[in-house]
Structure 1
Amino acid sequence: MEPGNGTFLIANPHLNDPNFIRTVVFLCEHDATGSVGFVMNRKTIHRLGDLVPDLKEVDFPVYEGGPVGLDSLHFLHQYPAEIPGGKEVLRGVYWGGDFEILATLLSKGHIAPEKVRFFMGYSGWGEGQLDFEMAEKTWIVTRATPEFLFSNDEKALWKNILNHLGGDYKLIVNAPIDPRMN
């Protein structure tokens, strides 16, 4: 499968870039000019209320979206009718939208934590960069599902998706991070 909007990039075990070791990246935008996505399995110590003073009572986790633009806040959600302006990336899953409306809904307790995910920063690739990484077999690509996107078990996400893919992918689940230590 080729990378595209609504796909997961699953880091191959041999990927030794510290930004992406054992990560699952959800691609939200992929075209000839580049790609944008979010690391799904790196929860930070921050809570949304720590980063947005008006939402100090909101105790939702924030994930490290990637190494680019760490001073920016992004979100995925499953509230298309309530939060206008989002881009549908996967059926029923939206990237961004009107943050003021989201903030109001959050402060009133109308947003379920299992239907929204917040990110500091993002993962980005310039023109041809992801194609090069694909040729190097850096990433395994599969269609994303809301089940995995909004999983509460982010520490096991990489293994869970590979196990779900089955076959040879099950064999690499337990590959050591450093093969010299095998």
Structure 2
Amino acid sequence: MSEVAPGMLLVATPALLDPNFADSVVLMLDVDDSGALGVILNQPSPVPVAEVLAGWSEVVAEPGVLFRGGPVSTEGALAVGLLRASAEAPVGFKEVVGRLGLVDLDTPVELVDGWLDGMRIFAGYAGWGPDQLEGEIEEGSWYVVPGEAPDVFRDDPSELWRDVLRRQPGQLAWHSTRPVDPDMN
């Protein structure tokens, strides 16, 4: 699983039949011998952050809703934040890659507010056991591509899948133009 690392993106291929991940883009947060963990970036929920975690509603990026991070532990929440360029990591921030990291939602908001250029809260996460993700990649369920911080904090993530593929080199970019229903092509 050497090509999958924190900060990388998994982009669902048409071969991925699991409805939890159809056309999804997953940001990898942790990858090691015991498994992998990430969050789905392009599945916003209709639930405003203010309804669930009121103190954080002023800190999160637009559209200000919880995102469905994945099918595991959907009653829990993970927050991903982007440190400001000149900021040092505040209390409650754990670096994932570069300025991107996890924000501990038990940290008082005032200790984090002002240190971040963006933050998003995810209900649940996507998780894989040892060798499970590697098997899914080998069977053709995921494209593994570099991530960019703006991918995490888009106001409208509805075209994220296509945009991420479009910026890839070579033939991989061609996949961004596939129709939603290939039978209609």
- TM-score band by shorter chain is 0.7 to 0.9
Cross-structure match for 1:95: 102
User: For residues 53 and 45 of structure 1, what CA distance do their matches in structure 2 show?
Assistant: 15
Cross-structure match for 1:143: 146
User: For residues 16 and 78 of structure 2, what CA distance do their matches in structure 1 show?
Assistant: 25
Cross-structure match for 2:91: 84
Judged with a 3 Å threshold, the aligned counterparts in structure 2 of structure 1 residues 20 and 172 are, in CA distance, closer, same or farther, namely same
Cross-structure match for 1:176: 179
How many residue pairs were aligned? 178
User: For residues 97 and 56 of structure 1, what CA distance do their matches in structure 2 show?
Assistant: 15
Cross-structure match for 1:104: 110
Pairwise mapping of residues 33-48 of structure 1 onto structure 2 (< 5 A)? Answer: 33-48=34-49
Instruction: Tell me the CA shift for residue 176 of structure 1.
Output: 3.4
- TM-score normalised to structure 2 length: 0.84
Cross-structure match for 1:17: 18
1:159 aligns with 2:162: yes
Instruction: Tell me the CA shift for residue 90 of structure 1.
Output: 1.6
Judged with a 3 Å threshold, the aligned counterparts in structure 2 of structure 1 residues 44 and 98 are, in CA distance, closer, same or farther, namely closer
The superposition leaves residues 137-176 of structure 1 with CA deviations (integer Å, 9 ceiling, x where unpaired) of 1111112111222222300111001001042122212323
Instruction: Tell me the CA shift for residue 177 of structure 1.
Output: 4.1
Cross-structure match for 1:131: 134
Structure 1 unaligned segments of length 5 or more: list them.
Answer: none
- TM-score normalised to structure 1 length: 0.85
User: For residues 57 and 26 of structure 1, what CA distance do their matches in structure 2 show?
Assistant: 23
User: For residues 63 and 83 of structure 1, what CA distance do their matches in structure 2 show?
Assistant: 24
Instruction: Tell me the CA shift for residue 36 of structure 1.
Output: 0.5
Q: Which has the higher helix share?
A: 1
Instruction: Tell me the CA shift for residue 54 of structure 1.
Output: 5.0
Instruction: Tell me the CA shift for residue 49 of structure 1.
Output: 0.8
- The CA RMSD measured in Å over matched residues stands at 2.4
SS at match of 2:121: strand
Structure 2 unaligned segments of length 5 or more: list them.
Answer: none
